[in-house]
Amino acid sequence: MTRRPIALIAAVAAVVMLVCGGTVGLPLVMFGQAQAEAAACEVPSVPGASPVPGAGRWDSAQSTNAATIVAVGRQRQVPPRGFVIALATAMQESTLRNLANSTVPESLSLPHEGVGRDHDSVGLFQQRPGWGSVRERMTPSYAAAKFYEALVRVDGWQRMRLTDAAQAVQRSGLPEAYQKWEADAEQLAARVLGLPSIDDIGGGAPTAPCGVDDLGPIPVGPGGWVQPLQAMITSPFGPRNGRLHAGVDMSTPDVRGDPIRAASTGVVEQVKCDWHTTCDRDGHTGARGCGWYVDIRHAGNIVTRYCHMIQRPEVSIGQQVPAGTVIGFVGNSGGSSGPHLHFEVHVNVRPGPYHATSSNAVDPEPWMRARGVPLGTRS
């Protein structure tokens, strides 16, 4: 697991705040870099989850269900991000209450904390009969175990937006509905485990300081540039089908979901999915445009562009991004015939979005080579 000192400092600061009632500062100097590297992002042991009194907006019954969900995840050795996804899912499906269903008579005779009436769904995760018997689905530990079982089978779930991972399991009619619970679920997971932040054990979003293992910092070249993706060039810059292919395509056999990084320090100038193309799903050669993409403006009127991301990028417009920041993940959205990164470099781009065009695009290969980080190599 990648260790980064920032998380430790945050954790220490939080602990100090708890202990000293807000007097922060002194103990930080006690931690050298080596200790910080060793200690951050992993807590050797955490207190066992047990029935908890009401926590924040959640009453005792809801908090106890949350503790069960987390405990089952720990038993099954699910990475902590899974706890957060499971909690957010149960928050959306049942507000963390073990629900019977008015159209399922058997459910009303079992212990329950409310009555729903959505199809034949019951329990914390509103599971339908394919997930188990009524009694099983209304047993919180069983329902949570079935949820985790399905979650860990979703390819790349730890790198997905929370709602995409939850939706891959639940197949709900409202695929975006889980996302709004992310912060609540992170807080509740931390509360149940007695941690300042769930990211201290890697339960935060994929790009959080202790997020997915291989998303940590990477070396930046002497000119301040980094490869946006560690992959081979599969199609060069230049004329293609009577038009200019204004960037390079980069790919490897298993590239889908790999992190895409800001090629140099800058400010995010554009985050969007071209309206006329496909988003959040595989594109095709008949579609046009970039799909989900990001533009970053760098010093000296330089703009870089990153196309065909798998989902909504991890950054927002106006955000300052140091070189090497993970801005999104490789996908196949837009006019794209397979998962790859289409990477563009534009020069002399006047201020404002939409001014990076094919007329100011330059070949990224010699550009990056001149900055000491040739594309298409593994460094």
| Binding interface with Zn ion (CB under 5 A) | 249, 342
Dihedral-angle region of residue 22 (phi above 0 means left; psi in -120 to 50 means alpha; beta otherwise): left
CB 318 to Zn ion: min, Å: 26
Closer residue to Zn ion, CB minimum distance, 298 or 342: 342
Closer residue to Zn ion, CB minimum distance, 81 or 305: 305
Q: What angle do CA 130, 134, 137 make, to 5 degrees?
A: 70
CB 237 to Zn ion: min, Å: 9
HSE, side-chain direction, 13 A CA sphere, residue 127: 27
CA distance 197 to 81: 12
CA distance 246 to 236: 9
Closer residue to Zn ion, CB minimum distance, 164 or 249: 249
What Å distances lie between residue 190 and 77, 104, 131, CA to CA? 17, 35, 28
Closer residue to Zn ion, CB minimum distance, 127 or 336: 336
CB 249 to Zn ion: min, Å: 4
CA distance 310 to 228: 15
Helices 182-193 and 81-94, packing angle to 10 deg: 120
CB 369 to Zn ion: min, Å: 19
CB 247 to Zn ion: min, Å: 5
CB 88 to Zn ion: min, Å: 35
Residue with the shortest CB distance to Zn ion: 342
Closer residue to Zn ion, CB minimum distance, 141 or 235: 235
Q: Is the dihedral of CA 264, 267, 269, 270 positive or negative?
A: positive
CA distance 309 to 254: 14
Closer residue to Zn ion, CB minimum distance, 145 or 345: 345
- Compute the residue count for the chain: 379
